[in-house]
Chain A
């Protein structure tokens, strides 16, 4: 089975998840470029990008499992890793920013 002959029950949810993930990521990163102060800018990427990454990885699991006719789970590694590390990076940066703005 190739990508051209993917059945409709897998293609439609994968397409919806991809569109949703792309929109979430674009909105989050445009928020990074547009918002006013650093503490406002923090919100866009840390929430929008994590949600968008989850949607895209789930669509990838769906497509590659359907293509291989079995459960293909190596994308779950990236999902777990992003879900663990993205809030940790956001928290560290937030604490550093609070420390810097207090000591100024």
Chain B
């Protein structure tokens, strides 16, 4: 049964890398500043998911702590970059 799980993990990692490529494209190209902030938000969530998938495959718990830290700092960074680039009240 591990063949199915292994295929699913490889497929999910491929999907996350594809999603990161799409977000990087939008981050480089994006016409306005809020496009880039949204793309950064998508990019760090996808990076966190890729790391989490690595954690399931390797069977260690270190990756979960790193993913939690990425989720925390990514949120802070995206709120901060939003309030410095597209100021609103």
Residues of A within 8 A of B (CB): 2-8, 11-12, 14-16, 18-19, 21-23, 25-26, 28-30, 32-33, 38, 41-42, 45, 49, 52-53, 56-57, 59-60, 63-64, 67, 74-75, 77-78, 81-82, 85-86, 88-89, 92-93, 95-100
Contact = CB atoms under 8 A, between A and B. Distances in A.
Interface of B: 1-2, 4-5, 7-9, 11-16, 18-20, 22-23, 25-26, 31-32, 34-35, 37-39, 41-42, 45-46, 48-49, 52-53, 55-57, 59, 61, 64, 67-68, 71-72, 75, 78-79, 82-83, 86-89
A100 B19 CA distance: 27
Contacts of B53: 18, 56
B1 A6 contact: yes
A3 B59 contact: yes
Given A26-B18, A81-B71, A96 B87 contact: yes
Contact of A49 (B9, B46, B52): B46
A20 B73 CA distance: 27
B8 A26 contact: no
A78 B67 CA distance: 8
B62 to A, nearest CB: 12
Given A15-B7, A19-B8, A32-B39, A100 B86 contact: yes
Given A38-B35, A96-B82, 5 more contacts: A18-B5, A49-B46, A95-B88, A96-B87, A100-B32
